[in-house]
């Protein structure tokens, strides 16, 4: 129900953001429409994008009372490492489009909050530029490319930089059809005339990002001649070089050369979760790529109970896509996830206010998780189970 006079805060003070939706409203005010479309849009009719959010309204809580909760402990352990909070910043590419040096700002916010940050292959900064951030728990996401030399070098760089886990994205061998995003451009990456005019209406963003030039994808630069190391050229190269014939053999090969935790992202069936475990993966991410790839795919949280019921304890189970509230994260934990990955939620904070905005997004989620667990009567993440929800 919409009540007259109600609206989300959309000013500049990130500390006034009460929810992720407030940070989303702030981001919409600051970013040009074509940039916001890149952040928020999905594939084709966006059925999956909508379903990712709608499904949470079908899950009810079953609270226990008089349990002497006190202040709930939100920590959990993933791959033998204690995590202060049960969520991880998901890998997202092109963060430099939202803020100058967006990858660094997001990673610094995560490090200060004690949250793991996952860097994308197509981040705008090199692995080495982020690895020195104090107290950063640093994971690296990997797209599988045709060039074995590139793959070996990137994995080697991640190892040398001290990355603690490698996450292989498997659902993007074919690029999703993001129709609304495509309508924003005349050709290639050249925005339509109306969007060029719209940039003039967003001077804070233009001075932060456009004035410095659109940043290229830092991890790809070494494989391009010096005169082709532009954003447009690196974007084209990455699309041309993604391996279309992706198979479990690629996972098994990576398992041989990467000795730390290996995670397969893009799992959507129990059978594939079992194959990931058989191939030597330490973890999986149940994911539909935030509704940006196959439209018509189900929400990961509907797949989660079946996979957790069979593989919980054998393999680390993560989930992403559609998480905007601490209540969403608690529901996933109760359904068997070991932790959740947040993409757009923390990006809204980044886009709204840089590091401070990303920090505020993390704080909002933390407060919501703690409050929800207290109201459920749960002292710790380990206490959450199917008895606390109806689905």
The verdict on whether residue 93 carries a ligand-binding annotation is yes
The verdict on whether residue 326 carries a ligand-binding annotation is no
The verdict on whether residue 185 carries a ligand-binding annotation is no
What is the SS3 assignment for 85?
coil
The verdict on whether residue 9 carries a ligand-binding annotation is no
The verdict on whether residue 265 carries a ligand-binding annotation is yes
> How far is Cα 321 from Cα 42, in angstroms, rounded to an integer?
11
Beta 185-187 vs 283-286: how paired, if at all? unpaired
- Give CB contacts under 8 A, 24+ apart, made by 233-242: 235/189, 238/121, 238/122, 238/143, 238/145, 239/175, 241/145, 241/146, 241/147, 241/150, 242/143, 242/144, 242/145, 242/146, 242/172, 242/173, 242/175
The verdict on whether residue 323 carries a ligand-binding annotation is yes
Residue 283's beta-bridge partner residues? Answer: 263, 316
The verdict on whether residue 145 carries a ligand-binding annotation is no
The verdict on whether residue 8 carries a ligand-binding annotation is no
The verdict on whether residue 91 carries a ligand-binding annotation is yes
Q: What is the set of active-site residues?
A: 289
Is the backbone of residue 66 left (phi > 0), alpha (psi -120 to 50) or beta? left
The verdict on whether residue 322 carries a ligand-binding annotation is yes
Sequence-ordered alpha helix ranges (H) in the chain: 20-30, 33-40, 47-54, 102-113, 127-131, 148-160, 179-182, 193-200, 203-208, 231-241, 248-257, 270-278, 300-311, 326-334, 344-376
The verdict on whether residue 321 carries a ligand-binding annotation is yes
The verdict on whether residue 141 carries a ligand-binding annotation is yes
List, as residue ranges, the binding site for FMN.
91-93, 120, 141, 169, 265, 287, 320-324, 343-344
List, as residue ranges, the binding site for glyoxylate.
38, 143, 178, 289, 292
List, as residue ranges, the binding site.
38, 91-93, 120, 141, 143, 169, 178, 265, 287, 289, 292, 320-324, 343-344
């Amino acid at each position: 129900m919409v009540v007259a006079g109600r609206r989300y805060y959309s000013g500049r003070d990130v500390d006034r953001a009460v929810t992720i939706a407030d940070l989303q409203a702030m981001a919409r005010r600051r970013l040009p429409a074509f940039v916001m479309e890149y952040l928020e849009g999905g594939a084709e009719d966006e059925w999956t994008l909508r379903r990712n959010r709608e499904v949470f309204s079908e899950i009810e809580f079953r609270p226990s009372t008089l349990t002497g909760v006190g202040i709930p402990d939100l920590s959990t352990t993933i791959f033998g490492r204690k995590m202060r909070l049960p969520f991880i910043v998901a890998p997202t590419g092109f963060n430099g489009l939202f803020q100058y040096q967006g990858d660094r700002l997001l990673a610094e916010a995560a490090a200060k909050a004690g949250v793991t940050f996952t860097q994308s292959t197509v981040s705008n900064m090199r692995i080495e530029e982020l690895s020195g951030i104090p107290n950063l728990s640093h994971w690296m996401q990997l797209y599988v490319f045709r060039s074995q030399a590139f793959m070996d070098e990137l994995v080697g760089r991640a190892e040398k930089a001290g990355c603690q886990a490698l996450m292989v994205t498997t659902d993007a061998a074919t690029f999703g059809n993001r129709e609304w995003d495509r309508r924003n451009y005349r050709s290639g990456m050249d925005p339509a005339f109306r969007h060029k005019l719209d940039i003039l209406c967003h001077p804070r963003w233009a001075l932060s990002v456009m004035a410095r030039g659109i940043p290229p994808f830092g991890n790809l630069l070494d494989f391009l001649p010096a005169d082709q190391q532009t954003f447009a050229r690196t974007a084209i190269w990455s699309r041309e070089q993604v391996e279309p014939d992706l198979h479990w053999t690629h996972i098994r090969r990576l398992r041989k050369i990467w000795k730390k935790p290996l995670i397969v992202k893009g799992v959507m069936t129990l059978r594939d979760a079992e194959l990931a475990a058989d191939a030597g993966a330490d973890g999986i991410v149940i994911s539909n790529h935030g509704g940006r790839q196959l439209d018509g795919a189900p929400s990961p949280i509907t797949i989660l109970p079946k996979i957790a019921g069979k593989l919980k304890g054998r393999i680390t189970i993560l989930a992403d896509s559609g998480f905007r509230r601490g209540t969403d994260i608690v529901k996933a934990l109760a359904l068997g996830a070991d932790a959740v990955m947040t993409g757009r939620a923390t990006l809204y904070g980044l886009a709204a206010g840089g590091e401070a905005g990303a920090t505020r997004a993390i704080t909002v989620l933390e407060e919501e998780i703690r409050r929800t667990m207290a109201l459920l009567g749960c002292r710790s993440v380990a206490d959450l189970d199917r008895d606390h929800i109806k689905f």
